[in-house]
Amino acid sequence: MISLRYHVVSVTAVFLALAVGVVLGSTAISGRLLSGLTDDNSELGREVAALRADRVALDARLAEADRFAGAVGPSAVREQLADRTVVLVTTADAAPGDRDALVELLRAAGADVTGEVQLTESFTDPDKADQLLNMVARLQPAGTQLPTGADPGTRAGALLGSVLLLGGDGRPRATEAESAAALGGLAGAGFVRQKAPVRPAQLAVVLTGGAASGNSAGDRAAVVARFASQLDRSGAGAVLAGDRGSADGTGAVGVVRADTAATSVLSTVDHLDTAAGRVVTVLALREQLEGGAGRYGVAGNAEGAAPGIPD
């Protein structure tokens, strides 16, 4: 007769056998799985190493190309802006090195750089938009007309256009006293900085940085974009040039390129932080003199590398 103890021992043996089988089976599976993962990891490691090598090689080629552009740049732009005047407007995030290199290239092109005005962080601050609008209305030179009911960027662009750019007849739109009052008033309110007196010019370059960041990045970029577009309408032409990254949705160049009306008059360059980009900026100014406009650079929304060179 089979006793209860025998049943208990039998059941225990069965469960023990199952447990041992599970352990052994999982160990075998884990070993195979681990082996497969190790192989995959090794393959991924090789792919990453190859990609890094490709990137290093590409960076080297780009650096060499930029050195070449820097060397031939002065020759490429020689006399393109002979006897022309250009004023610079820089934003708070524009790189001083890019600005200095562009000024040198503009002079190599024969241009007379008449001065620089820097827009401060307050200029694009949404919380100070009403204050800027009020200042612009108070500082408007006699005989000029500002856009009615417009945003701060557009109205400020019209005001600065009237004091920084020459009219169609080649004469200043405002008197020296009116220009000094307008720039001094904006500087006193913290909206602009001016290192030295500025003479009105035929052309303007607005220099900005790359992609903006922060909660109000889009609003700030829009102010710069609308400012540059209105400034273009005030003189013989203008170019908005930014570093790589400026052509995306949070950069001023990108905002302009998303606006068909703006791109029909204002030229944009999206790689000012390269020697090639600075050459293109000068060539774009020349195109503006001839009544043309375009979107130039390396971003996906550019229409070509340079004027006359489509993708």
DSSP letter for each residue of 10-37: HHHHHHHHHHHHHHHHHHHHHHHHHHHH
Average pLDDT for 261-269: 95
Residue 243 has pLDDT above 50, yes or no: yes
Answer for the pair 255, 225: CB distance below 8 angstroms, yes or no: yes
Q: What's the pLDDT score for residue 112?
A: 97
Give Rg (Cα) of the chain: 31
**pLDDT the model gives residue 67:** 63
Pairing of strands 295-296, 267-269: parallel
Find the range with the poorest average confidence among 11-25, 88-102, 122-136, 263-277: 11-25
The 10s digit of each residue's pLDDT in 47-90 is: 666 666 655 544 454 554 566 566 667 888 999 999 999 999 99
Lowest mean pLDDT, pick from 66-75, 103-112, 234-243, 245-254: 66-75
What is the average pLDDT across 94-119?
96
Tokens read off for 32 = 């195979």
201: which residues sit within 8 A by CB, 6+ positions away?
85, 86, 87, 112, 114, 164, 165, 166, 235
Band the pLDDT of 8: cuts 50, 70, 90.
very low
- Neighbouring C-beta atoms of residue 62, cutoff 10 Å: 13
pLDDT at 203 over 80: yes
pLDDT of residue 310: 58
For the ranges 3-7, 110-114, 277-281, 305-309, which has the lowest average pLDDT?
3-7
Distance (Å, whole) CA 273 – CA 87: 19
Long-range contacts of 127-135 (CB under 8 A, 24+ apart): 128/191, 129/223, 131/189, 132/156, 132/189, 132/191, 135/185, 135/186, 135/189, 135/191
Structure-token pair, residue 138: 């108070």
Using CA atoms, how far residue 101 sits from 190, 209, 298, in Å, is 27, 15, 19
Examine the pLDDT at 22 and tell me if it is beyond 90: no
The answer to whether residues 153 and 226 touch, using CB atoms and an 8 Å cutoff, is yes
CA-CA distance, 95 to 100, in Å (whole number)? 9
The lowest-confidence range among 37-51, 223-237, 250-264, 278-292 is 37-51
Mean pLDDT value across residues 148-161? 91
